[in-house]
Amino acid sequence: MSKREKMFAVLPTLLTLGNAACGFGSITFAAKVGPEPTEGLDPLLIASLLIFLAMLFDMLDGSAARWARQTSDFGAFLDSLCDAISCGVAPAFLMLQFCRDYHGRLLWVIAALFVICAVLRLARFNVETDDDDTHEFFSGLPSPAAAGTVASFPIAQHGLLKLAEAGIDPRAQQIAQWLLPAMKLALPFFTLAVACLMVSRIQYAHVFNQLFHGQRSRQHLIQLVFTAAVVYMVREMAVPLIFGWYAFASPVRALWMRTVAQRLHKTRQI
């Protein structure tokens, strides 16, 4: 094996370890919230961005392994261990710091449940996933999507703070001032909800594989256009909206289909 081939062979592992490093970095930045000066940087914003960077590494390492023909059980288990840090512990700790002014014991319980559900989700994925799987759908909310839902709140807060301080539009300023405390109240409930969705059996689309490896449809194009429009209109607020839509659209659709099926069944019995 040439030096170039060896370099490409180790690339997937480096990306996976970068995922873990970003998760650890997110925890350390979130821990800096307190009396110590932060030199003008919002540590929770940096912690959130590091979680998203970890998600990027997690998205690329599998493709890099297949491209370099270095797929293995070692890589799969290493990926799950790193995800447990970046998509389990890091977002749970971020939620604790973001909502630290509220009931500490309740927040700790929710954070612990999030970590437990993330670990269970990752273990179940390793056991149930086959090499021949097309990977176009997930059973249960993927842990990176759950982590992104939690990490999106500090990013949205950063945008709302800029909007509130700008004072250009008084109405927008009032909305921002109302949303800022509401987000801190809402995040624990969202964290608990996505934790439960991770261990559910609800089917979720694998967005990356469907867009880049699967058959592209008109529905995918509409979703991309809609996402781009939301990002353009509300900017930072688009992040929790997009992740919230992905996390909760599938269970709402499943509940709706179940309700419709029950009504049709009752109608046929009559």
For 61-85, write each residue's pLDDT tens digit. Answer: 888 888 877 778 888 899 999 999 9
Interatomic CA distance for residues 157 and 174, integer angstroms: 14
Q: Give dist(CA 52, CA 42) in Å, integer.
A: 16
Model's pTM, two decimal places?
A: 0.86
For residue range 139-197, list pLDDT tens digits in order: 899 999 999 999 999 999 988 887 777 666 677 678 778 888 899 999 999 999 999 99
Q: How far apart are CA 194 and CA 118, in angstroms?
A: 10
Q: What is the pLDDT of residue 179?
A: 85
Instruction: Report the distance separating Cα 79 and Cα 76, nearest Å.
Output: 5
